[in-house]
Amino acid sequence: MKAPVLILGATSDIGRAIAHCFAAQGHPIQLAARQVNRLESDKADLEIRYGVPVSVHEFDVLAVETHADFVQQLPELPAIVVCVVGFMPAQKACEQNLPLALEVMRTNYEGPALILSVFANLFEKRGWGTLVGISSVAGERGRASNYFYGSAKAGFTAFLSGLRQRLAKSGVQVLTVLPGYVNTRMTEGMNLPPLLTAQPKEVAKAIFAAIAKKKDVIYVRPSWRWIMVIIRCIPEPLFKRLAL
């Protein structure tokens, strides 16, 4: 049997798509989320549909003091850990509610970085494994429309880059995923451009392929790479006048 895959943030649309993608290839699945009761139906579906063992686990990315215990209680140390955890309320709400802004920054950077650090130490000692962090193109340049979320994702992207360099000679792969827009519950109600908007299944397939090819960084839709090159190159005096 293939090695297990752990999905952190498994109740998300992308998390569910990743679970199906890997289960379809025969991987046992470990589903982890804060609301663990919501995972039971997913567990049953995956087991029946693909005939693989599935376990569910309570996980709160913000309760960093519980991270080590969470890892210890897993039935088996996974081969692949995918962190899909994310939180993106409206920018204006964060500006007026600083505790909410703090939650955004901790959920998108602090918590994911620290839980992946726990696995990084274990994988490094073992000498193999894959760590996947889903970051965002929003982290490539701060914009007025989402700079709390974007700054947290910028930190997470930098963390993954440094972790990748640290583990480069250890046999551990670190993959940074930059999806761009994705049609999920988190983006519901937003006016998303179809040509730049991926579906959760598309993200899952891109991750699966990138792991197999030992990629370091992927843009799910390649056009995002060039869009972000342009945005990063806009001079600051001009950038300040743009509505982005």
Mind telling me the catalytic residues?
Answer: 149
Count Cβ atoms within 10 A of the Cβ of residue 130 and give its class: 0-12 exposed, 13-18 middle, 19 or more buried: buried
Strand partners of residue 197: 181
Distance between CA 131 and CA 83 in Å, rounded?
A: 8
Per the structure block, which two tokens stand in for 50? 């693909």
Q: CA distances (Å), 163 to each of 21, 116, 132, 174, in order? A: 26, 9, 11, 7
**Contacts with 98 (C-beta within 8 Å, 6 or more apart), sequence order:** none
Sheet of 217-219: strands edge to edge? 54-58, 29-33, 5-8, 80-83, 129-134, 172-178, 217-219
